[in-house]
Structures are given as C-alpha cells and as structure tokens.
C-alpha cells in the first residue's frame, strides 16, 4: 500500500466544496448544477449507473477504465451526499465508529 500524499487526502474535500458551490446555480452553467436541478432521484440513479460501470470495468476492462469509472462514481456519490445534506466528514465519522468492529458484527447490529 502506498503512502497517502497530503494533497490526496484533501482532494475529496476540495471537490465537495466545488460541488456545494454549484447548488442553486444555473443548470446551463455546469453539469453539477444540472444534476442538482434534476433532483435526488436522478442523482441516485446516476450513482447506480456509475456503480455498474465500476463493476463492469473491474470484471472485463482494464486498470485505467476501473480508475476512470471509480472517479466518476466518487464524484456522483459526493453530489448525492450534497443533495442529502451529508458531508464527507459525516461518512468518515461513521467509518471511524465502525473501525475495529468485525464486519459481521457491524452488519448484524444494523439488522436489529
């Protein structure tokens, strides 16, 4: 596993800031603004579409395609978080809460 560069640790935060700045902007001005204008169902479907493209890239395409599709998925997921008033920090906190917990135990705790 390679070391994470400080600027890499901040890329999602910077991207999320740009995404949030597009909320309420003219839909003709940016793709992100258009996604916000189209609403949560459209954004959620786009996340599903991108997840399927990641799956396809992982199974039948090459490394670069998987990288490209993963970046698309992360972008659309950040847009979905923004429309749902969720921040990356909210997700990081949940991951930190789960850290050190068996995946099976954690999943079972959600099913109760």
Cα–Cα distance between 95 and 56 in angstroms, integer?
A: 26
CA-based torsion, 98, 102, 107, 109: positive or negative? negative
CATH topology of domain 10-86: Helix Hairpins (1.10.287)
Please check the confidence at residue 15 and state whether its pLDDT lies above 60.
Answer: yes
Q: Mean per-residue pLDDT for 35-45?
A: 97
Tens-digit pLDDT profile for residues 56-80:
999 999 999 999 999 999 999 999 9
Backbone angles phi, psi at 5, to 5 degrees: -80, 145
Percent of the residues in the chain that have a pLDDT greater than 70, as a whole number:
85
Confidence of residue 86 (pLDDT cuts 50, 70, 90): very high
- Listed by start position, the domains of the chain span 10-86
Whole-number pLDDT of residue 79: 98
Please check the confidence at residue 106 and state whether its pLDDT lies above 80.
Answer: no
The model's pTM is 0.83
Cα–Cα distance between 25 and 14 in angstroms, integer?
A: 18
């Amino acid at each position: 596993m390679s070391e994470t560069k400080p600027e890499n640790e901040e890329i999602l935060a910077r991207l999320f800031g740009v995404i949030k700045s597009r909320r309420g902007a003219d839909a003709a001005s940016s793709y992100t603004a258009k996604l916000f204008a189209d609403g949560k169902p459209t954004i959620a479907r786009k996340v599903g579409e991108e997840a399927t493209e990641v799956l396809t890239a992982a199974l039948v395409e090459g490394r670069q395609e998987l990288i490209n599709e993963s970046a698309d998925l992360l972008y659309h997921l950040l847009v979905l978080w923004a429309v749902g008033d969720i921040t990356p920090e909210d997700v990081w906190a949940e991951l930190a809460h789960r850290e050190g917990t068996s995946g099976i135990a954690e999943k079972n705790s959600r099913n109760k």
